[in-house]
Amino acid sequence: MIVKWTEELTVKNEKLDAEHQKWIQILNNFYEGLRDNKPKESLLELIQEMYDYTKYHFASEEEYMKSVNYPRLAEHQEKHRYFEGRIKEFYDRINDGKLVVSLEVTNFLKTWLINHIKGEDQQYSAHKG
């Protein structure tokens, strides 16, 4: 396990917290696949799952931010598009044999996810539409 859910990650919204927990589970599955030397195809499936879930979660989160008239929605969406792009880039580069799946990829995903939840997401959590 590379990331463990703790209460300091809560955004005080049950649905979004559950989605963040699922996202962390996907990241942990990816890390365990890497650690267990799963074949490239398995790791690509895990990255695809992360990409698909990221798109789902970001749409859900952005819908919530719209519903509370979060003033920094556009800025937050830019950060979401950046992360989606990075995951897609990792997938493409690994698939093309131009990037070896490594802890570097996992650490980027972990660091971005935790920093985003603690930094960006908790800001909309504090916003009272």
Q: Where are the domains of the chain?
A: 7-126
**Rounded to two decimals, what is the model's pTM?**
0.90
The dihedrals phi and psi of 71, each to the nearest 5 degrees, come to -70, -20
Contact 50, 109 (CB under 8 A): yes
Specify whether domain 7-126 bears CATH 1.20.120.50.
yes
How many CA within 13 A on the CB side of residue 39? 2
Intervals of the chain under pLDDT 70: 128-129
Q: Hey, is 24 helix, strand or coil?
A: helix
Q: How high is the pLDDT of residue 129?
A: 63
- The predicted-structure confidence for 61-96, as pLDDT tens digits, reads as follows 999 999 999 999 999 999 999 999 999 998 898 888
pLDDT score, position 94: 84
pLDDT at 37: 87
Can you say how many angstroms the Cα of residue 3 is from the centroid of all Cα atoms in its chain?
A: 12
Residue 101 CA to its chain's centroid (Å)? 17
